Structure 1
Amino acid sequence: MEAKEFAVFADRLKTAFPKDNLLATRDQMDWWFDLLGDIPFQTAILALKKYALSNKFPPSVSEIRTIAADLTGERLPDADEAWGQVNNAIRRYGYMREREALDSMSEPVRKAVERIGFQNICQSPYEQLNTLRAQFRGAYEAEYRRSMEVHKMPELMRLEQASVQQAALPMKEG
């Protein structure tokens, strides 16, 4: 969103939560704009409306970003939806077409499946299904947390993080 649009967003935030002295300084405005500026204006306003209708206390940047991601369909599946992706891939591709099955899954689901092993999932006896599902849930929740950290980040911050990680690589080797 543009700076002028963010000013409207900030005004709506202050109006929705008048008791909370939100975004009172220029630094606070700049900080929130830095963290939310990549979200389209209409999406940010709708996220704020959804939040304000169901909460008494003001939102954090993270809460606005999460709602905005849900609105744009960029939401990551929860553990049950992820397990559904795994089962759909197995039904569609079977154990012989592992690469195609893995490619059909969202990234955190694929990583969790790779940790356990696609063939292990496919060939597990039915009576071990609950154990296998619990193992998947544990692996997926770890991947989900990692993905959410990155998913909520503004694009510019993702690039900054990648450059910091790239710069740190030689230190790890030495």
Structure 2
Amino acid sequence: MEVKEFAVFADRLKTAFPKDNLLSTPDQMDWWFDLLGDIPFQIAILALKKYALSNKFPPTVSEIRTIAADLTGERLPDADEAWGQLMNAVRRYGYPREREALDSMSEAVRRTVERVGFQNICQSPYDQLNTLRAQFKGFYEAELRRSMEVHKMPERMKLEQATMQQAALPMKEG
């Protein structure tokens, strides 16, 4: 979103929550724009509208980013949806086609399945399915928390983080 569009967004935010002293300083405006500026204007406005219709307290940047991700279809699946992806892959590809099964899953689900082991899942006895599901759910929720931190970040911040992580790696000897 452009700076002028963000000014409209900020005005709508202040209008929706008039009792709060929102974005009242240039620093606050800069900070929010820095964290939300990568979201297209129409998506940001719609996210704000959705939030304002169901909440009486002002949103956080995180809440606006989460709603925007939902609106654009970039939402990460919840634990039940992730289990559904896994079970669909098991039924469709089965034990011998692990690579195809993993490729059919979203990133967070795939990482969780790799952690548990696709072959282990396929070979689990039916009577242990509930135990397996509970274990998967625990692993997936941890993966989801890690993924959400990255998923909500603007692309620019992801690049900054990758650069910092790369710089922090110890120098390899030659």
With the shorter chain as reference, the TM-score category is: over 0.9
Give the aligned length: 173
Task: Tell me what 1:152 maps to.
Answer: 152
Give 3-state SS (helix, strand or coil) of 2:170's partner.
Answer: helix
Looking at structure 1, the residues matched to 95 and 77 of structure 2 have their Cα atoms a distance apart, in angstroms, of: 23
Identity %: 88
Mapped pair 1:49 → 2:61: no
Task: Tell me what 1:40 maps to.
Answer: 40
Looking at structure 2, the residues matched to 78 and 34 of structure 1 have their Cα atoms a distance apart, in angstroms, of: 28
CA distances 1:110-132 after superposition (whole Å, capped 9, x unpaired)? 01101110000001000000110
Task: Tell me what 2:76 maps to.
Answer: 76
CA distances 1:41-82 after superposition (whole Å, capped 9, x unpaired)? 000000000000000000000000000000000000000000
Looking at structure 1, the residues matched to 172 and 161 of structure 2 have their Cα atoms a distance apart, in angstroms, of: 16
TM-score by length of 1: 0.97
Pairing 1:105-124 to 2, within 5 Å after superposition: 105-124=105-124
1:172 is displaced (CA, Å) by 10
Give 3-state SS (helix, strand or coil) of 1:48's partner.
Answer: helix
Looking at structure 2, the residues matched to 172 and 15 of structure 1 have their Cα atoms a distance apart, in angstroms, of: 55
Pairing 1:89-128 to 2, within 5 Å after superposition: 89-128=89-128
Q: Could you tell me which amino acid in structure 2 is paired with residue 126 of structure 1? A: Y
Looking at structure 1, the residues matched to 171 and 141 of structure 2 have their Cα atoms a distance apart, in angstroms, of: 30
1:170 is displaced (CA, Å) by 1.3
Looking at structure 1, the residues matched to 92 and 164 of structure 2 have their Cα atoms a distance apart, in angstroms, of: 40
TM-score by length of 2: 0.97
Looking at structure 1, the residues matched to 105 and 156 of structure 2 have their Cα atoms a distance apart, in angstroms, of: 26
CA distances 1:10-67 after superposition (whole Å, capped 9, x unpaired)? 0000000001010000000000000000000000000000000000000000000000
Runs of 4+ in 1 over 6 A off after TM superposition: none
Q: Could you tell me which amino acid in structure 2 is paired with residue 79 of structure 1? A: A
Looking at structure 2, the residues matched to 139 and 11 of structure 1 have their Cα atoms a distance apart, in angstroms, of: 41
Looking at structure 2, the residues matched to 18 and 155 of structure 1 have their Cα atoms a distance apart, in angstroms, of: 31
Q: Structure 1: which 5+ runs fail to align?
A: none
Q: Could you tell me which amino acid in structure 1 is paired with residue 137 of structure 2? A: R
Distance 1:58 1:172, change over 3 A: farther
